[in-house]
Amino acid sequence: MRANTWAGRNKVEVRDVPDPKILNSRDAIVRITSTAICGSDLHLVDGYVPTMQDGDVLGHEFMGEVIEVGSGVPGDRLRVGDRVVVPFPISCGACAACAAELYSCCENTNPNAGIAEKMFGHPVAGIFGYSHLTGGFAGGQAQYARVPFADVGPLKIEADLTDEQVLFLSDILPTGYMGAEMCDIQPSDVVAVWGAGPVGQFAMDSARVLGAAKVIAIDKEPYRLRMAEQAGHVPVNFDEVDVRSRLLELTGGRGPDKCIDAVGLEATHGSAHIGAYDRIKQAVRSETERPHALRQAIMSCRSGGVVSVIGVYGGFLDKFPAGAWMNRSLTLRTGQCHVQRYMKPLLGRIERGELDPTRIITHTLPLDEAARGFDIFKNKQDDCEKIVLKP
């Protein structure tokens, strides 16, 4: 089959690779009809996530048709011919974390748990196409994928909805929604979202759906800010204004009630010298993150507010404002998304027209053009917000 693979830092390559096979009785094989390039894939390509190997199949946002199921998958759960969306965390459904619906913290699905434990203190779930730190599972930017624990993960799509309407249930829509949900949004709340990429856009939409009085979008790309403004959110360009000062103006001097970091470890900063400081430290590996968005969210949030972190972080950062966090009674909430918890409720919101995931799609390319897609996406060419790949 054809698959998009990691070929070294700053390089991906579509290659012929072996077709996946059933390895465990709870596996399924899915013929992929749609997949996508995610912002967190760029962390792998840019070399900031360790344990990638040449030939690793990328991609953790995918859906398709079940063409084979293992003997341990109940027929009432999944059958050949079912149309499914596959969540990016691989979860067993039986451990203490899964019982608590903390699916991305599953204790049983990462065969390289020892590596993750050294990095994070405790193991994390296996993830499709996201380094050997999270299990080394082949990803979904391919024609076919093996789905472990298929009786737990995939969501059957029985409604008459297009792939584009439901594909992002695999990751970015639940991630954005969880970011807003962790804020405990009240009707009077002003919510500020750092990052107007796909996850940030969905965090904004979710904050609105959950009842926020005002949602503020913070980014520097005019096309992203236009997209947010067209969806009813207030744009703030950090290249043009001081973000904290502008947020104080928009909130009567108090700061946003709730702040969401949808950027993560490769943030940029409106001030050249501050941006250069963290970029140099990251380049020489004296820190792994550029945490501008997180620092700014903590410093900008009103006292007693909530900072929700859904941007990906993988290691260690410098100059974390612990004093502001502690002394101003801020609540910090975070986590890789527990996608399985949100898939069905969000499918219902899509069916009712409360959320429109298709609004962020700007490009659709064949799988064989994945390398060009990564280049367009990474360099924000052609006003690129989100790319869907068709195998």
Which CATH number fits the domain that encloses residue 355?
3.90.180.10
What is the rounded (10 degree) CA torsion for 188, 246, 381, 313? -70
The answer to whether 147 touches 27, Cβ cutoff 8 Å, is: yes
Segment 166-190 mean pLDDT: 98
Residues belonging to the chain = 391
| 182/239 same-domain check | yes
Report the mean per-residue pLDDT for the chain: 95
Same structural domain for residues 17 and 61? Answer: yes
| 327, containing H or E segment | helix 322-327
Q: What's the mean pLDDT in 112-135?
A: 92
The first and second tokens of residue 358, run together, are 């298709």
The pLDDT value recorded for residue 32 is 98
Both 36 and 97 in a single domain? yes
Same domain, 364 and 275: no
Q: What is the 3-state secondary structure (H, E, C) of 157-187?
A: CCCCCCHHHHHHHHCHHHHHHHHHHCCCCCC
Same domain (yes/no): 177, 257: yes
Q: 258-261 and 306-309 as β-strands: parallel, antiparallel, unpaired?
A: parallel
pLDDT at residue number 273 = 66
Give me the half-sphere count of Cα atoms (radius 13 Å) on the Cβ side of residue 88: 30
pLDDT value at 205 more than 90: yes
pLDDT attached to residue 176: 98
Range among 7-11, 19-23, 289-293 with highest mean pLDDT value: 19-23
Residue whose pair of structure tokens reads 């499914």 in the numeric block: 84
Lowest mean pLDDT among 115-124, 168-177, 297-306: 115-124
Give mean pLDDT, residues 28-32.
98
The pair of three-digit structure tokens given for residue 172, joined into one six-digit string: 């970015």
**Same-domain pairing of 271 and 386:** no
- Same domain flag for 167 and 177: no
Does 194 lie in the same domain as 99? no
Whole-number pLDDT of residue 168: 98
Structure-token match 């993960």, residue found:
153
What is the spatial distance between Cα 359 and Cα 351, in angstroms, rounded to a whole number? 15
Please give the Cα distance from 51 to 132 (Å, whole number).
5
SS3 112: coil
Residues 270 and 129 in one domain: no
* Residue 265 sits in the same domain as residue 159: no
Residue 19 has pLDDT above 80, yes or no: yes
Question: What's the CA gap between 46 and 171, in Å, rounded?
Answer: 20
Give the model's confidence band at 283: pLDDT under 50 very low, under 70 low, under 90 confident, else very high. Answer: confident
Integer Cα distance of 72 and 65 in angstroms? 18
pTM as predicted: 0.95
What DSSP string runs through 29-48? EEEEEEEEE-HHHHHHHTT-
Domain count, the chain: 2
pLDDT in tens, 315-335: 888 889 999 999 999 999 999
**Distances in whole angstroms, Cα of residue 271 to Cα of each of 163, 220, 303, 368, 380:** 40, 12, 25, 38, 20
18 lies in the same domain as 145: yes
Cα distance between residue 370 and residue 358, in whole Å: 20
Q: Over 90: is that where the pLDDT of 285 sits?
A: no
Domain ranges, residue 181: 173-334
pLDDT given for residue 49 in this prediction: 82
What's the average model confidence in pLDDT over 106-117?
93
Return the pLDDT at 200. Answer: 98
CATH of residue 252's domain is 3.40.50.720
Same domain as 111, residue 10 = yes
